[in-house]
Amino acid sequence: MNNVNSPLFSTSTAGVGTHSIECNAPSSSRTSCDARRPSAARHLAAAPFLGLPRLLRRSINPRFLAAGSLACLAAFTAGCVAHKGGGQPLVIDATPINPEPTATAATLDPALLNPPAQSFTLGPGDQIAIELLDEPASRTISTVGPDGKIYFYLTPGLDVWGKTIAQVREELERGTEQYFRERRPVSVTLRSSQSERVWILGRVNRPGVYPLPGSVTLLEALALADGPASASPTAALSSAIGVDVGTPMDDSADLRRAFVMRDGQRLPVDLDRLLNQGDLSQNIRLRGGDFIFLPSSAGNDVRVLGAVVNGRNVPYRRDMTLVQAVANAGGTLPDAFVYQVALVRGSMNDPRIAIVNYQQIITGQAPDVRLEPQDIVYVPNAPYRTLKRYVNLILDTFVRATGVNEGARAIDPTIPPPGISVPVTINP
């Protein structure tokens, strides 16, 4: 997997090499995949737990097999445990998986560090100070109305929506010529901006939606929210004395999983390098509509995305498996491509990925895979051949979904979360 553009037909687990296998997709799907597929069965210990003997599988309608599998999944998610005669619980074996690192980190465009080439433009809610330079008493504060117009002195309503400060100054000076013998110089300055805002949510001290007054850097924006939140006093006490006091040991901001989103796309900004290492090469200039999110280090959910019935955050339980997480999301959709289910682990800028053949797991040809807190499980709709694009698709889907959920919660905390299954159209 060192070559990120290599075909996505291999994976590995701890202590096991990479293997190639024959494509085991149904005949209807073979046209969309090559002859080799990733298979959990080749490098995970063979301990099927949902499969039936081959003889029974041949003689029973596949629909009944699917129903039986779903029934087993429901039993697992409901917490049912089978017992042997000795009264000991029957432990369902699941194999830990070690996703491989992926060299998918995009290079930060140096242009993102520069002020925007286009000057700030006015919009409804912005306030500007206007003054005739030769008449100090004329100074007034004017607010751009919902119709995009301002009113000053004797001039009629002037449409300033989408215009720069310099353009507004020029039009006001030209307008004064109608009421005075000569053109009079006008001063126009921006007092406050309400039309362009930046979202700063998650584990910051003052999360919210902030006006963006001109060109602001990422550090300056975080300062508006009083910076990342540190561990709460009870969490710090719990960590210091090593005793659980009902609060997670560390609920500070997790900078490794923090991200900045612009126009629905994740920007390759590393907030950990910026804030912990002082790397100013990550201090980008923000634009109106940018979304900054700092998750909590105490988050223990598993994110299930993609072609599932109800994409959502699944609360992590000890020894949670892939099948249990997908079942908690309602199972896979009928058109899901379950031969390349992805498991992403690690930071946003240094993700690790493993490709699992989910079909072999639910048919008993391979054991289940054990998950860890904050894993991302992605079920695709179609096969993906390039690792880099596949990982970027998963992370962009996660970023957009988080933005929808957290943005809705910031606007109205009573609104139920819309879920994290967001349709994304990206050509892999």
Domain ranges within the chain, ordered by starting residue: 53-91, 110-116+196-294, 127-192
Quote the pLDDT of residue 104: 52
| Measured distance CA(262)–CA(64) in Å, rounded | 46
The whole-number mean pLDDT for each consecutive block of 10 residues of the chain, a chain of 428 residues, reads: 35 32 42 39 32 35 43 41 34 60 68 81 90 88 90 83 91 83 87 87 92 86 92 55 52 90 90 93 92 89 94 92 96 95 90 93 94 94 88 90 83 61 38
For 366, the enclosing helix (H) or strand (E) is none
Quote the pLDDT of residue 117: 72
Q: What separation in angstroms does the CA of 360 have from each of 76, 140, 176, 325, 419?
A: 18, 72, 78, 16, 28
Quote the pLDDT of residue 262: 92
Task: Give, in words, the CATH class of 127-192.
Answer: alpha beta
The closest of 297, 107, 106, 295 to 204, measured between CA atoms, is 295
- The one-letter code for the residue type at 358 is Y
The closest of 114, 115, 213, 198 to 165, measured between CA atoms, is 213
- Interior/surface letters 356-372, b for 16+ CB within 10 angstroms, e for the rest: bbbbbbbbbbbbbbbbe
Q: Which CATH architecture has domain 110-116+196-294?
A: Roll (3.10)
Quote the pLDDT of residue 233: 58
Quote the pLDDT of residue 372: 93
Tokens for 209? 């939606």
Quote the pLDDT of residue 247: 47
This prediction has a pTM of: 0.64
Angle at 108 between CA 107 and CA 111, to 5 degrees: 135
Quote the pLDDT of residue 108: 84
End-to-end CA distance of the chain: 17
Quote the pLDDT of residue 300: 85
Q: Where would I find the beta strands (DSSP E) of 213-311?
A: 259-262, 265-267, 291-294, 301-306
